Amino acid sequence: MRPGVRYMLLSAFAFAAMTACVRIVSERIPVAEIVFARALVSLVLSLALLRGTGVHWLGHERGWLLVRGLCGFAGLHCVFYAVSRLPLAEATVLQYLHPLFTALLAAVTLREAPGRGVLPGMALSLAGLVLVTRPGFATGGPPLDLFAAGVAVAGALFSACAYVVVRRLAAREDPLVIVLYFPLVTVPATLPLVLANPVWPEGLEWPLLLAIGALAQVGQVALTHGMRHETAARATALSYLQVVFAAGFGIVLFAEWPGLLVAVGAGLILAGATLAGRGPRAESAG
């Protein structure tokens, strides 16, 4: 198993565990406050990890690092909102449109060959999207919350933008600096939203909020290392096991058993993501 694969699998598990914690905490804590807590923990950990490394914490390509932070800020708000409103498996599955978006964006901005699987991958992913969201006109069944589903898809697009920027930065910037810029942007950007509707955490909410930040840090660092060894499209496609982990957490913690349409739709989206992610392995950027 290549280093890039190991890093992406670790990232997938950490992010799935993080979303399970978000789902529990979001029953009472506003999404903006969860995002703020997650970013604040990440900021402290990132600065602590950078101490003594000799790496300049502001980096070199500060404009692109700022773009990475803004994409992460927007994407995380979308993802946490979707997780708070949708079943865990469905919210995670919709996020897995991002390998398709990543492949298309990387082809345009990074000149990475998208491979022959992008167009069939797009078709499969769109078919899977219809089944997962269950619009009544297409399936005859009760639809998912389409607004929340649309926010989840927007989160996938912002995530793809962030991954492409990470891939561009990975050749020159230290992974810890790239990770740092997410909380560096998100903490001040989210603070006004938190102050507008503050809710003080209670009991187990405190350790869960800390766990969200810690798990996210593990996932981000592992993801960034993975992107140094694989192309943007292939690396993100390798993280599809997050859907399996998230479905397991949904069953065990929330008794959310995915129905047949969701299972088939998830399979189509993951197949599309895998096809879109096929391509030559990138040389290590580090």
Q: What is the mean pLDDT of the chain?
A: 82
How high is the pLDDT of residue 270? 77
The answer to whether 276 and 98 have CB atoms below 8 angstroms apart is: no
First CA to last CA across the chain, in angstroms? 18
Over 60: is that where the pLDDT of 280 sits? no
- Domain edges within the chain: 3-277
Token representation of residue 181:
């810029």
More confident residue, 115 or 126: 126
Over 70: is that where the pLDDT of 1 sits? no
How far is 251 from 259, CA to CA, in rounded Å?
12
Token representation of residue 85:
């409103």
The answer to whether 242 and 8 have CB atoms below 8 angstroms apart is: no
To the nearest whole percent, how much of the chain has pLDDT over 90? 32
- 52-110 confidence digits (pLDDT tens): 787 888 888 889 999 999 999 999 999 999 999 988 888 888 887 877 788 788 888 87
Q: How confident is the model at residue 192 (pLDDT cuts 50, 70, 90)?
A: very high
Q: Decide: helix, strand or coil at residue 26.
A: coil
How far is 64 from 19, CA to CA, in rounded Å?
27
Q: Decide: helix, strand or coil at residue 109.
A: helix
How high is the pLDDT of residue 286? 29
Q: What's the whole-number mean pLDDT along residues 135-151?
A: 69
How far is 183 from 190, CA to CA, in rounded Å?
10
The answer to whether 59 and 126 have CB atoms below 8 angstroms apart is: no
How high is the pLDDT of residue 83? 92
How far is 141 from 130, CA to CA, in rounded Å?
12
Q: What's the whole-number mean pLDDT along residues 35-47?
A: 90
Q: Which amino acid is at 8?
A: M
- A 10 A CB-CB count for 187 gives 20
Token representation of residue 254:
């929330």
